[in-house]
Amino acid sequence: MGVQVSVFQFNAFQENTYVVSNDEGEALIFDPGCYSKEEENELSDFIAENELSVLAVLYTHAHIDHVLGAAFVQKRYNTPAYLHHLDHVTWNSVASYAHVYGFEGYQLEVVPTQLLKDEQVLELGSFKIHVRHTPGHAPGHVVFYFKSDQFIINGDVLFKGSFGRVDLPGGDLEILKSSIFNILFQYPEETIVYCGHGPETTIGQEKKTNYIHQF
């Protein structure tokens, strides 16, 4: 079967949390957005039932919807956590506004100690992941490219037919366009794009139809 990508839709923002696993039972968790006890159980039950060993937790960026489950996941699995340093401020700011969105029970977790860098290659267990810094939606946003399996964990840079919002602190449309055109659109067209919200897509599809071309 090779590498499997499992998606979980969590919290009021309908954020996509991903578990990437392989035949050896190794697993990576991307952007844990689980907030309620039911969501936490859904994620942990899946990992337990499939007898997966979590090697690391990785974040595309640190907006609230992508880190609501950070404290739960990092304490539960006690594994290294990865984030780009330019999103440390984004991470630390969540506690100051979580209540505004009704997340009164949000637990602040310490900033991930493992720093992600542009053009870094992560080797975690049997996984080999190419990291690219893709700002515009958030200052420290990155994408994770699994070259041998031809897919990207893309966070909120690109969506099916759309793209990440740029009206949040650190957002910038021109920078986001550069990330999309100069980085994402350079990947092979058959590359699957797993988005932070909504359905998956492909690079080829978005090069043809995404309305980023209108800006």
Mean pLDDT in runs of 10 for the chain (215 residues)? 94 98 97 98 98 98 98 96 98 95 93 97 98 98 98 98 94 97 98 98 97 90
pLDDT number for residue 42: 98
Contact assessment for residue 94 and residue 168, using Cβ atoms and an 8 Å cutoff: no
Using H for helix, E for strand and C for coil, what is the string for 32-76? CCCCCHHHHHHHHHHHHHCCCEEEEEECCCCCHHHHCCHHHHHHH
pLDDT number for residue 1: 67
Range of the domain at 23: 4-214
Contact assessment for residue 183 and residue 144, using Cβ atoms and an 8 Å cutoff: no
Contact assessment for residue 164 and residue 157, using Cβ atoms and an 8 Å cutoff: yes
Contact assessment for residue 15 and residue 162, using Cβ atoms and an 8 Å cutoff: no
Give the CATH number of the domain where residue 17 resides.
3.60.15.10
- pTM (two decimals): 0.97
Contact assessment for residue 31 and residue 17, using Cβ atoms and an 8 Å cutoff: yes
Count of the separate structural domains present in the chain:
1
How far is residue 86's CA from residue 3's CA, in Å, rounded to a whole number? 30
Contact assessment for residue 65 and residue 97, using Cβ atoms and an 8 Å cutoff: no
pLDDT number for residue 124: 98
Using H for helix, E for strand and C for coil, what is the string for 15-31? EEEEEEECCCCEEEEEC
